[in-house]
Structure 1
Amino acid sequence: MNTQIENKLAFFPTPYLEEDFRSIIYRYHVRSLHISHERTKKEVLGYKGNTTLPRNLNEITERIPGNVTSDDIIYNHTLFPLLKPFLNEHLMDKVYRDLVSHPDLNKSINAKNYIKHIVSDEIRYCLDCIREDYNNLGEVYIHRLHQCKYIFVCYKHKKILLSNCPICETPLAEQKRFTFLGQPCCSNGHNLLDFKVSSLHEENHFIQEALLEDTSFLLSKARSLTHDYLKVKYLSWLYSKQYITLLGELFQPRAFVDDFINFFSTEVLDKLGMTEDYLRVKNRIWYQINFKKEVPNVALLLLISRFICSSFECFINKSLPNVSSIIPFGTGPWICENKYCLSYKKLSIKSCIRKVSRKDRITGTFCCLACGFTYVRSWDSQDIAEKINVSVVDHGHLWNDLIVSTYERTCSINKTATELKLTREIVKKYLPLLVGEIDSPYSSNHYSHQQVQAILETYSQYKSYRGTARKLGVNRNTVKKYVLLNLPKFENELLLDEIAVTAIDYQEERVNACRNKIVSIMSTVNNLKRSHLRKLIGYSTYRFMLKVDRDWMDEVLPPVSPHALNWDLVDKELSEHIKEKALSLYKQNITIRISKERIKKSLESFQRSRLARRPEKLPLSIAVIEQYEENKEDYQVRKKLSKESLRKGTDDIN
């Protein structure tokens, strides 16, 4: 519910130059003689909230005597102008509406959530300013620029700012209790005019001078500067320094951070909270300069502008750098690369489609309207020399028609390739796409009925794939293919039956011959092992017999060596070993989830091999792995407990 303020104030203190709004309210509180600061806030603001950044200013200024406006308070007595230029139009409208006419004062202050990142947590004073203010005005007030979080010295006297009494260390002001300095003495009565503060150390002098200068200029120009204008400035300047690519992305961010740190020094940046780890966070710099974060780091942005130019003022006032570049591939026209086109090597292409890829590389697509030939070329901004490499996207209708007509006339892939001066691989690749399945008697991938008949007749004569292949000069696999797979397609059933019978008879003859050979060897060699027999008769013969006559082989040959494992015993021992390894992983409190694969990885290689090849023999081991596998919920709990344990200084996790 919006609080209504009815009565106009009888008086209101005239704001001083660069006075913080909190100080103005405090001076009204002192003059009104109110005991409770909550009553003062309620009387002036209409609510009891924080006064760092006021809300509902339109109603407040209507009650204040004089011609004070909402913008006067915002731009002259708060630090909000430091944020305003870096907020986009939508966000700026949202925050500004919260400041001047927020409809519900009971909700959290949106504007304050943005300003708190640049306002100091403690009220700070310059002792020289206290002396001047008291001598000239008879009272002390809070200077707005002194409360900027990243500034440690007075903008006028260049002396270190203080938040505590230099004698008793008592805070000079307490914002929660709404007690600020009105006289030049602390709450314990120590006179601050008798104390002198030293200037800033030499190593920090440059950075503070730079930030004071840039911040003062930003405050003076905040009304006119806009988010879009600053974004163009940052991107243009960084592109001119070769830190931004054509895509508008930060090029080699590590190099940028290195140059930035070397320019200002690590020690100086650390005191501003900009450690090397902070700057090297992925996309940190890019999000700031591209304003992709809602809350900008004003100090970082000011330092980047000074890193690029000599100051923020120069960064703003200096004309934009020339970021134009050579037009990739020129303005045309461009040549046709199809050697079968009448416009070959002539400037016949009138248009170019450019596309930006990563790392400053641009591709151009060119299409000849006469033949349909389309190709792509690349262009690199780092190497602007003409690129002559051409990647074909589409050969076009002229090239397609030519290759099809030539093949239909020659009926040969090789002749087509030779006549068109193409490679055989290109013709073989594109021809099926244009005419479908190739059905040529001259093609190596297809045999005519006469050729298949010749293969079958030769095979029936030689009874061997190898002999048939040698006789006809073809591949042995080709012979096998047509003998075993393609026989049902032909009509000569008599020949097929004859070949089938011949093949069966030949196999029986071979089996009998192999049997006789094995029996002969076994009768002459004592204590013959199967491995020795395999070497004597040949590996192929041994495998053939196992395939077609295993029963006879098992009956005649020596039994297999008794190397069979006791899988029950192996499973039991392996399951116990897995359990030990799993418990060890939990005791080590590793930082990753203890999954099945992680438990298996802790085993020996032969154990992992057994689990992979013979899981049906190891049911107990598989069950133990599943039992000790850590699910995602348990892993999250263990991870959280581990962090809490480390925070307490112990390595034990209950």
Structure 2
Amino acid sequence: MNEEIAYFPTPFPNEDYRSILYRFHKCSGNKEVYLTSNELFGFSNEKFTVFPRNLSALFCKMPVNHSFNAESILKEHTLFNIFRPFISTHRLDGLYQEINNAVKPEHSNIGKLVGNKYGRCISEEIRYCTFCMKEDNQNYGVSYMHREHQIAFLDICPIHNQKLITDCPQCHIPLLDVFSGRCKQGHCLLLESGNEDINDDNQLKFKRKIYKDISFLLYTDQRMYRNLIDYRLQNYLFNRGYFKYVGALKRDKIILDICNYFSEEEILVLGLSIEYLKQRNTLEKLLYKDDELVPNIPLYLLLVQFLAGSMKKFIHDEIPPMASQVPFGFGPWCCENKLCPDHKKEVITKCERKIKRSRGITGEFSCTTCGRSYVKEWRWGKGDRGKFGLTSLSEDMKIRVIRLRKEGKLIKDIAIEFYCDPSTIRKVLEKDQSYSRQSAEVISRVQSEINNGLLQISATEIGNLKRDNYRSRLESFISKNPNKNRNEISLECRKEYRWLKEHDNEWLENHLPPSRSINRFSWNLVDLQLSQRVKEIAKQLVESNPGTRVGKYMIINALSKQERGRIKSYLKNLPVTEKTLNENVETVEEYQLRHIPALVKQLRTYYNYTIVSVENILAYRRSYRNCSVEMKRKINDILERLNIGY
């Protein structure tokens, strides 16, 4: 239907988009909202949506010289500008497409912007300020919805600092359209005493700060995009020292600082909680998942307040760009080999740097004079640790090592002579074939010593001693540091932790603190539970014998709101549920067989049939006429049972 509408309300300042539509609905003569929705947009909704959809259909029905456009509606009569800077360009294109043109309900995403449990931005209930209602009634003759009153985490009027109301103070009926200034029962709402005074000064100050940030986003003429927000956020975090050198976020540090900066009540004002902030990936999603459809606006506002003090400063203030120190500097570097003629002289011109997640940065320095290399460690915020370890040996040195070992010198003595770790000497000897042949003689001698009783401790006993030693060390550390978590224990007792993890994991798990990831949300568990619910609902629906076929959407609509939402939005995470849903849909043949008794009753009631045959059914219902022979046989069996006694 593309009939032109003769009238459309002129929007009032800051009037919510839904309020404009409700005013049109009042004047349209339609009894139900879904009729008005169908008239304006070509689809039926029981209530008007928070954000526009299919505006092109509305504009086509308006007079030719109308001044409306999608951008002005979004900017002046919705809260869309709050979300725009935090949504990727790719996602914005999809949302604009939905705002301007019709899309299928299953492809609709604009409604998801209102948010969820942690991160809800639009209030579920319509809110009013009685002071604003009174002023609107005096200035415009009607009271209307203000868009800034619908922000979920701000329950005060920013102008009057008064508590917003969602239902009538006298009869407690929810308020929807109160253009006359009265509720549905006729109680007057234009009373200044209808608002509740706010006594908590700290919360009120915090809410005012948040509202200033919201106002900046709503009214600024500067077009901000997601890449700008990401860039500024990362710069602030980097300059405050919240990034590790490898790029990972210091999540525990920033959460601790946020909890110290804000009171728990201030965090709760935004609909967040300390437990939510501590959850894994809560902050990482903001920094690394740049294609999220639903931005967590309250969390963004909390971070902006913490890092910059206000959204305006966050966007406009100059901050130093991200710049890192150069590990070990630019050289040249000294040779640390005491055997080298150029010991402690700056003769090394090349440094090979490698990132080691657990140890920061390592640098390998090779001296051309002695042929030796050594490794140093560099930590972010601490710099060069000063200690070094020699690594590879030159070919001449390897020959000397093998010669000294063949002469009977101990490995540890050779290592001291060459200023390196004994493991370096062992690697050189293991690669030398002449030494490998000699190793057989050494093994034979050791075996002889074992047989003579010189070595009485077996490999198993050595392993047990090692295990008991590591257990004792770890238990001692845990008892002295009861507040350390698993990650901190693994870093402090790296050697003991790794060995026990590989060789004695059961004991280790029983003595470590509980893992923080044990109670994490599991889609697999939800999938199994939801598939069972689908099976039960499908069975109940069939047993209730409805007049229509039990299809996929009938089953889904019979589920709870949460279950329906999960199937609609996260079906890709619910493979078992999807399979169960398809398996429990009633086929056409199953429905036709179930419906036979109802058809027989109709024929007997309205057409005076007594004995009903298959031919009667086929003549009465066209949908049965293409039945297979097997289907007709089943129908006949049912009819024979129903015809008994007639």
**Residue 20 (structure 1) aligns with:** 16
- Deviations along 1:318-372, one digit per CA (max 9) or x if unpaired, are 1124543432111223344456667654444444343444478222233456776
How far apart, CA to CA, are the structure 2 residues paired with 1:279 and 1:128? 36
Partner-residue secondary structure (3-state), 2:386: coil
**Residue 74 (structure 1) aligns with:** 74
Measure how far apart 1:288 and its partner are: 3.4
**Residue 387 (structure 1) aligns with:** 385
**Residue 47 (structure 1) aligns with:** 43
How far apart, CA to CA, are the structure 2 residues paired with 1:391 and 1:61? 75
Mark the CA change 1:359 to 1:182 in structure 2 (over 3 Å): closer, same or farther: farther
**Residue 160 (structure 1) aligns with:** 163
For residue 429 of structure 1, the aligned residue among 405, 417, 426 is 426
Aligned-residue Cα RMSD (Å) equals 3.7
The TM-score, its normalising length taken from structure 1, stands at: 0.60
Partner-residue secondary structure (3-state), 2:139: helix
Mark the CA change 1:431 to 1:40 in structure 2 (over 3 Å): closer, same or farther: closer
- Pair 1:130 & 2:107 matched: no
Alignment of 1:195-594 (within 5 A): 195-196=192-193, 197-203=195-201, 204-221=203-220, 224-251=223-250, 253=252, 255-291=253-289, 294-321=293-320, 323-337=322-336, 345-358=344-357, 361-368=360-367, 373-384=372-383, 386-395=384-393, 399-404=394-399, 407=402, 412-414=407-409, 421-422=417-418, 425=422, 429-438=426-435, 446=441, 477=448
How far apart, CA to CA, are the structure 1 residues paired with 2:228 and 2:424? 57
The TM-score, its normalising length taken from structure 2, stands at: 0.61
How far apart, CA to CA, are the structure 2 residues paired with 1:419 and 1:264? 56
Q: Is the 8 A contact 2:155 2:163 kept in 1?
A: yes
**Residue 147 (structure 1) aligns with:** 150
- Pair 1:183 & 2:186 matched: no
- Deviations along 1:255-280, one digit per CA (max 9) or x if unpaired, are 43343234332234334432332222
**Residue 99 (structure 2) aligns with:** 99
Measure how far apart 1:143 and its partner are: 0.8
- Where relative contact order (Cα < 8 A, 6+ residues apart) is larger, the structure is 2
Q: Is the 8 A contact 1:351 1:366 kept in 2?
A: yes
Q: Is the 8 A contact 1:362 1:378 kept in 2?
A: yes
Mark the CA change 1:339 to 1:430 in structure 2 (over 3 Å): closer, same or farther: farther
Stretch moving more, 84-93 or 127-136: 84-93
Mark the CA change 1:418 to 1:310 in structure 2 (over 3 Å): closer, same or farther: closer
Mark the CA change 1:8 to 1:256 in structure 2 (over 3 Å): closer, same or farther: same
* Unmatched 5+ stretches in structure 1: 174-179, 453-473, 482-597, 599-631, 642-654
Partner-residue secondary structure (3-state), 1:388: strand
Measure how far apart 1:7 and its partner are: 4.1
* Unmatched 5+ stretches in structure 2: 453-505, 507-523, 534-646
Give the letter for the 2:82 counterpart: L
Q: Is the 8 A contact 2:130 2:189 kept in 1?
A: yes
- Deviations along 1:32-52, one digit per CA (max 9) or x if unpaired, are 333333232222222223421
How far apart, CA to CA, are the structure 2 residues paired with 1:136 and 1:479? 105
Measure how far apart 1:249 and its partner are: 2.9
- Deviations along 1:425-484, one digit per CA (max 9) or x if unpaired, are 5685144344314278xx68638xxxx9xxxxxxxxxxxxxxxxxxxxx87816969xxx
Q: Is the 8 A contact 1:235 1:248 kept in 2?
A: no
**Residue 64 (structure 1) aligns with:** 62
Partner-residue secondary structure (3-state), 1:192: coil
- Deviations along 1:565-600, one digit per CA (max 9) or x if unpaired, are xxxxxxxxxxxxxxxxxxxxxxxxxxxxxxxxx9xx
How far apart, CA to CA, are the structure 1 residues paired with 2:356 and 2:436? 43
Measure how far apart 1:73 and its partner are: 1.6
Q: Is the 8 A contact 1:366 1:374 kept in 2?
A: yes
Q: Is the 8 A contact 1:79 1:115 kept in 2?
A: no
Q: Is the 8 A contact 2:40 2:57 kept in 1?
A: no
Give the letter for the 1:85 counterpart: P
Give the letter for the 1:403 counterpart: K
How far apart, CA to CA, are the structure 2 residues paired with 1:428 and 1:105? 71
**Residue 123 (structure 2) aligns with:** 120
- Deviations along 1:595-633, one digit per CA (max 9) or x if unpaired, are xxx9xxxxxxxxxxxxxxxxxxxxxxxxxxxxxxxxx99
Partner-residue secondary structure (3-state), 2:409: helix
Measure how far apart 1:405 and its partner are: 5.8
Give the letter for the 2:399 counterpart: V
For residue 192 of structure 1, the aligned residue among 161, 164, 189 is 189
How far apart, CA to CA, are the structure 2 residues paired with 1:410 and 1:278? 61
Partner-residue secondary structure (3-state), 1:332: coil
Measure how far apart 1:191 and its partner are: 1.5
**Residue 557 (structure 1) aligns with:** none
How far apart, CA to CA, are the structure 2 residues paired with 1:169 and 1:77? 27
Stretch moving more, 180-189 or 42-51: 42-51
Partner-residue secondary structure (3-state), 1:364: strand
Measure how far apart 1:162 and its partner are: 0.7
- Deviations along 1:177-216, one digit per CA (max 9) or x if unpaired, are xxx1211111111112234223322242112111211111
Measure how far apart 1:128 and its partner are: 1.1
Q: Is the 8 A contact 2:406 2:435 kept in 1?
A: no
How far apart, CA to CA, are the structure 1 residues paired with 2:447 and 2:141? 112
Q: Is the 8 A contact 2:333 2:349 kept in 1?
A: yes
Measure how far apart 1:61 and its partner are: 3.2
Partner-residue secondary structure (3-state), 1:165: coil
Measure how far apart 1:8 and its partner are: 4.0
Give the letter for the 2:51 counterpart: L
Q: Is the 8 A contact 1:360 1:382 kept in 2?
A: no
How far apart, CA to CA, are the structure 1 residues paired with 2:162 and 2:100? 35
Measure how far apart 1:67 and its partner are: 2.7
Mark the CA change 1:222 to 1:294 in structure 2 (over 3 Å): closer, same or farther: farther
Q: Is the 8 A contact 2:244 2:380 kept in 1?
A: no
Partner-residue secondary structure (3-state), 1:328: coil
**Residue 174 (structure 2) aligns with:** 171
The count of residues paired between Structure 1 and Structure 2 equals 446
Q: Is the 8 A contact 2:272 2:298 kept in 1?
A: no
How far apart, CA to CA, are the structure 1 residues paired with 2:209 and 2:405? 82
How far apart, CA to CA, are the structure 1 residues paired with 2:154 and 2:105? 33
How far apart, CA to CA, are the structure 2 residues paired with 1:431 and 1:246? 34
Q: Is the 8 A contact 2:162 2:198 kept in 1?
A: yes
How far apart, CA to CA, are the structure 2 residues paired with 1:388 and 1:58? 69
Give the letter for the 1:164 counterpart: D
Q: Is the 8 A contact 1:44 1:60 kept in 2?
A: yes
Q: Is the 8 A contact 1:400 1:434 kept in 2?
A: no
How far apart, CA to CA, are the structure 2 residues paired with 1:431 and 1:308? 54
Q: Is the 8 A contact 1:404 1:431 kept in 2?
A: no
Mark the CA change 1:426 to 1:355 in structure 2 (over 3 Å): closer, same or farther: closer
Mark the CA change 1:410 to 1:433 in structure 2 (over 3 Å): closer, same or farther: closer
Q: Is the 8 A contact 2:244 2:250 kept in 1?
A: yes
Mark the CA change 1:138 to 1:431 in structure 2 (over 3 Å): closer, same or farther: closer
Partner-residue secondary structure (3-state), 1:84: helix
In terms of Rg, which structure is larger? 1
Partner-residue secondary structure (3-state), 1:394: coil
